[in-house]
Chains A and B, each alone.
Chain A
Amino acid sequence: MNEETSDSSLEIDSHPDGPIEHAKILLVEDDPALRLVLKNVLEMNDYTILEADSKASAEIVLKEDPNIAALVLDLGLPPSPHTTTEGLAVIKMAVAQLHRAKIVVLTGQDEESSALAAIKEGAFDFLSKPSRSSEILNAVQRAVLFYRKERTLEDEQGLTRLQINAKVSDGLKAVREEAEEKLVRHVLKDTQFNVYQSAARLGLKRESIYYFLKKFGIKRDDG
């Protein structure tokens, strides 16, 4: 999809992604008219907008641009726009591929069950249609703020936020394994799959990284 840059003349600060007002937002909405209006709302508030109308196009845009701060996601996407299947698949994909972008769900699907499913999969915020533009802007602003602060924590203090859905009855072992897998994947992604650098960052021997690669079935193309 096309990328269009905002015409705002705000000064860009020293952060590599620019100030909050210039954060990149990926709009995933299959209704072209609504997508255009949402794009205008966000652009008028000086966000830079990228667009996608399906899971496939969202995946391409996310891969091409790792600096997307937030997704505004409609859960009802083709080929089944009247169910939440494709939208939830986008959240799963973004989480599995360790994209840092925060996901703000904006959907017309049944509120109660969709919100639960979306948050379970890793959505940051949930808005139901119709929402006022101020609500959408507030949610996007919060998402961008969290994205930025997490990046800062990562850059300055080496802290990485991991999201784990822990079932208490599964015990500590399952949680530990999920945390290990996510952390290893995260570091490998950051080092472009450099085993030597990953081992150094994690304070492990290279053999241990190879052990985790085998144990979790991690491959270079995973994300």
Chain B
Amino acid sequence: MASLYPYLILIGVSIILATGWLLGQARRRARITNELVSLNERLGFDLPDLLRHCWEPLEKAGFKGISWQLDWFGSSLSKTEGSQGDVSIHRKLEVDDITLSVNLYDGKRRFEQRYFSTVLSESFFLLLYTDMWVKLGTVQGAFAQTAKLNVFLQHDMKNIVQLISLVSEQLENTPAGKEEKLLNSLRTVMPTLHERSERFLSTLSNNAPTENRESMDIGEALRKTADIHNLKIEIHGGGQVLINEQSLNSICDNLFGNYVDQNRRNPEVGLKIVISITDSDSDLEISIKDHNGKPCLWPERLFEPFWSEKGDGLGIGLYHARQLVHGAGGTLQAITPENDPLIFVVSLPKSV
């Protein structure tokens, strides 16, 4: 038995050395894969740029050469780097208006080297394929969002133009004795038109106005917006916040918009909106809850732009409100208990 010890030790040492060598090789390939991933990220997931810059890490990994032809939305690009090796790994990737044909050249590899090489080349192809989808998703998303925004803006704009056109015609051709009636209607119409136009402009602009901040009564702003939407609210507490007036109105409008939609969909349920305003150090914390509301089914989607629960809204109301609150130096969060209605919590800087 003792005579076997030297052999057993030899076998053990060989296993340790082989494992160490394999680990070293694997680590080297992993480093190169990471290098490719970081390069892709640095280049903004841009496929043509990645193809132009990928040869350096691939060469480090021991590949002999690469040649690719890319049809990028109708434009053709191609490049060959390195030399043609013994083995060619070919892939043709197609996604809508993007087609890529790529040949990765490798030397003759055996055993574990072949597997290391395959893992790296497949990771590289996956990166290329992902970039194609990222580009396509961005393009399609942008088109869909623009189309949706256009529909909304057109609808609002047509109403505004229709209103202005009718008012102008009425002013031109007021029948005798009806002047007083027209004046009274203008007193009601013009503030609403002003409010509509401002909302229209704020939909177009994604920037939170940071200028002209002033001390605003938060309770009054909430009441004013609730009145416009014909919502009954109960407010506990109060205080002054430092914010641009237009921003504050738009925040209230977008937060209440959610409740207005709910009320129109299920008028029989009725709303019970309770707002609590509390003081905390340098901020005022405003929590809004509809006690008759249902639990939120899509907590992760609430602030996602261009997403609406029923698919019929523009889906930027809450996103816009959050941008405006952040622009004012505050925070907007939604607490979404599993079995209880959601609570909006807005924190805004106090006016000293």
Residues of chain A within 8 A (CB-CB) of B152 are 82
Query: Within residues 171 to 185 of chain B, which ones have a CB less than 8 A from any CB in chain A?
Result: 174-175, 178, 181-182, 185
Q: A33, A40, A54, A78: which contacts B170 (Cβ < 8 A)?
A: A40
Q: Does A133 contact B (CB under 8 A)?
A: yes
Q: How far is the CB of B116 from chain A (nearest CB, A)?
A: 55
Interface size, B (range): 20 to 34
Could you show 8 A-B contacts with beta carbons less than 8 Å apart? A31-B163, A33-B196, A37-B163, A40-B181, A44-B181, A56-B267, A79-B264, A82-B314
Q: How far apart sit A46 and B314, CA to CA, in the bound complex (Å)?
A: 39
Residues of chain B within 8 A (CB-CB) of A41 are 166, 169-170
Q: Does B345 contact A (CB under 8 A)?
A: no
Residues of chain A within 8 A (CB-CB) of B166 are 34, 37-38, 41, 133
The 3 A-B pairs of least Cβ separation, nearest first, read A108-B158, A80-B312, A33-B192
Residues of chain A within 8 A (CB-CB) of B314 are 82
Q: Does A130 contact B (CB under 8 A)?
A: yes
B159 touches A108 (CB 8 A): yes
B264 touches A131 (CB 8 A): no
Q: A41-B170, A83-B312 are in contact. List 9 more A-B contacts (CB 8 A).
A: A33-B163, A33-B193, A33-B196, A36-B188, A40-B170, A56-B267, A108-B159, A133-B169, A133-B170
Q: Does B310 contact A (CB under 8 A)?
A: yes
Q: Does B119 contact A (CB under 8 A)?
A: no
Interface size, chain A (Cβ < 8 Å): 28
> What 0/1 pattern do residues 2 to 40 of A give for CB contact below 8 A with B?
000000000000000000000000000001111011101
Q: Please, which residue of chain A has its CB at the minimum distance from the CB of B154?
A: A108
Q: A40, A54, A132, A134: which contacts B182 (Cβ < 8 A)?
A: A40
Q: Please, which residue of chain B has its CB at the minimum distance from the CB of A57?
A: B267
Query: Within residues 53 to 78 of chain A, which ones have a CB less than 8 A from any CB in chain B?
Result: 54, 56, 76, 78
Residues of B near any A CB (own CB < 8 A): 151-152, 154-155, 158-159, 161-163, 165-167, 169-170, 174-175, 178, 181-182, 185, 188-189, 192-193, 196, 261, 264-265, 267, 310, 312-314
Residues of chain A within 8 A (CB-CB) of B196 are 31, 33
Query: Within residues 104 to 161 of chain A, which ones have a CB less than 8 A from any CB in chain B?
Result: 108-109, 129-134
Q: Does A81 contact B (CB under 8 A)?
A: yes
Q: How far is the CB of B257 from chain A (nearest CB, A)?
A: 11
B163 touches A34 (CB 8 A): yes
Q: How far apart sit A63 and B248, CA to CA, in the bound complex (Å)?
A: 42
Given contacts A41-B170, A44-B170, A79-B310, contact A131 B162 (CB under 8 A): yes
Residues of chain B within 8 A (CB-CB) of A129 are 158-159, 161-162
Q: How far is the CB of B183 from chain A (nearest CB, A)?
A: 11
A78 touches B264 (CB 8 A): yes
Q: Please, which residue of chain B has its CB at the minimum distance from the CB of A107?
A: B158
Q: How far apart sit A31 and B188, CA to CA, in the bound complex (Å)?
A: 13
Q: How far is the CB of A141 from chain B (nearest CB, A)?
A: 16
Q: How far apart sit A38 and B165, CA to CA, in the bound complex (Å)?
A: 11
Residues of chain B within 8 A (CB-CB) of A83 are 312
Q: How far apart sit A34 and B193, CA to CA, in the bound complex (Å)?
A: 9
Given contacts A36-B185, A37-B189, A56-B267, contact A79 B169 (CB under 8 A): no
Given contacts A40-B182, A44-B170, contact A32 B192 (CB under 8 A): yes
B264 touches A40 (CB 8 A): no
